[in-house]
């Protein structure tokens, strides 16, 4: 099996890496300190073709394969994880629009999204429905040729700057079959942006609450059909998890490079600190986990490009990469010591940025549930009637010649 990146894929990586060195690295620390969303940067990424790498050429996209997209997100995230997640969510929105929206809506939104002039957002999570997305309460009621939406969404990445939102709302009964998806323009009456979320990390990404108060949208804004929303969400979260795995790999790669350089340059007791096993072993472990995380990620992306199911593979890639990023970001801080605890070096930013990769697009616990179910099936949902009847084993009761139960004689102590 060979899923080594092709020359074309490596060219994408080098192009994005060069862009990141020139356009992101010099500013990432300032964006982090000031919680700046670098909106002009995404116009430049649009000119480069990166904002449209998920969409087809018919709508102005680059139509890159999955391996190329994860390589691009990895390189962006190596420089600034907030930029990486902004691009990843843009891809999530573009894929859903192209797969499920009408031709009119595709033509209206995708060209400007691919050019980086417009951003997209994905609004699924609510205050009372996080990992249990099927319990969402935002409502969408049909009134003639319109739907009227009411409720609020949380953790909407890109939301403060997005032109278009993929919004999941309840059109039917409780449970996943009652959920539908809508494509809603920012200028829709009744749609407003709530609080801007102040986060531990990824300060250069924008996260907001989305408020819907009698927001009226045409029936044509419905994606696919009523009741298809949960299926749309699940079908795209697999590829979304690859984007977050790529983000985690980028953070981990940055941790390794920062740790390696510091261990070579910093001298204590008359020699580089990298000469001490306490430091060098940490760096060796980083390198091993980086290679392993990349292999899981690239393999899952390779599978998706061949039309293979990636639910299990994407969960494994995200689980491992995010765990490794969080673990080794802490080790990066430790290697740098007191300097690692200051914003004079990027280690503390990696430490703060890494944690979110274990939470969004499905927590690490959810990834383990997905992986276990692929291996074991849904054992928790089997009823007693579904289980095979237990076959009685051979009787251990002793009986006499007339069928009466023979009881053991009472013990007599001597």
Question: Whole-angstrom Cα distance, residue 280 to residue 302?
Answer: 33
361 catalytic per annotation: yes
Find how far residue 163's CA is from the centre of its chain: 21
Task: Collect all residues with Cβ–Cβ distance below 8 Å to 124 and sequence separation of at least 6.
Answer: 133, 136, 153, 168, 233
Question: Whole-angstrom Cα distance, residue 197 to residue 157?
Answer: 10
CB 183, CB 164: distance < 8 Å: yes
* Terminal-to-terminal C-alpha distance of the chain: 74
What are the strands, taking DSSP E only, across 197-331?
Answer: 207-218, 222-223, 267-268, 271-272
Catalytic residue (one of 361, 365, 402, 405) = 361
CA dihedral 272, 275, 278, 280 (to 10 degrees): 100
CB 109, CB 165: distance < 8 Å: no
For 14, 77, 251, 324, the CA distances from 20, given in Å and listed in that order, are 10, 9, 13, 23
Which positions are annotated as active-site residues? Answer: 361
């Amino acid at each position: 099996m060979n899923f080594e990146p092709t020359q074309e894929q490596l060219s994408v990586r080098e192009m994005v890496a060069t862009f990141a060195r020139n356009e992101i690295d010099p500013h990432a620390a300032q964006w982090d300190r000031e919680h700046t969303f670098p909106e002009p940067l995404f116009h430049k990424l649009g000119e480069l073709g990166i904002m449209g790498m998920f969409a087809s050429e018919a709508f102005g996209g680059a139509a890159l394969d999955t391996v190329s997209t994860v390589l691009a997100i990895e390189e962006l995230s190596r420089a600034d994880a907030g930029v990486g997640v902004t691009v990843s969510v843009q891809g999530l929105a573009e894929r859903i629009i192209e797969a499920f929206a009408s031709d009119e809506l595709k033509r209206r939104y995708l060209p400007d999204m691919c050019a980086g002039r417009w951003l997209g957002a994905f609004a699924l999570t609510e205050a009372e429905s996080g990992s249990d997305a099927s319990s969402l309460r935002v409502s969408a009621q049909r009134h003639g040729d319109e739907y009227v939406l009411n409720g609020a969404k949380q953790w909407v990445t890109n939301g403060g700057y997005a032109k278009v939102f993929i919004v999941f709302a309840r059109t039917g009964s409780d449970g996943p079959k009652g959920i539908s998806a809508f494509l809603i323009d920012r200028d829709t009456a009744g749609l407003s942006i709530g609080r801007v979320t102040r986060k531990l990390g990824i300060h250069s990404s924008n996260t907001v609450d989305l408020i819907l108060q009698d927001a009226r949208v045409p029936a044509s804004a419905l994606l696919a059909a009523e009741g298809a929303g949960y299926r749309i969400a699940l079908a795209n979260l697999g590829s979304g998890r690859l984007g977050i795995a790529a983000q985690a790999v980028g953070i981990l790669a940055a941790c390794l490079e920062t740790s390696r350089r510091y261990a070579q340059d910093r001298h204590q007791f008359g020699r580089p600190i990298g000469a001490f096993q306490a430091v060098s072993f940490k760096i060796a472990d980083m390198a091993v986990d980086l290679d392993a995380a990349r292999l899981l990620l690239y393999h899952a992306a390779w599978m998706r490009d061949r039309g293979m199911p990636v639910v299990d593979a994407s969960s494994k890639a995200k689980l491992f990469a995010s765990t490794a990023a969080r673990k080794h970001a802490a080790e990066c801080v430790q290697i740098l010591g007191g300097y690692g605890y200051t914003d004079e070096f990027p280690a503390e930013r990696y430490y703060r940025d890494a944690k979110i990769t274990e939470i969004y697009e499905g927590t690490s616990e959810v990834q383990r549930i997905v992986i276990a179910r692929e291996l074991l099936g849904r054992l928790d949902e089997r009823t007693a009637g579904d289980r095979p009847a237990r076959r009685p084993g051979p009787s251990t009761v002793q009986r006499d010649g007339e069928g009466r139960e023979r009881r053991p004689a009472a013990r007599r102590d001597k």
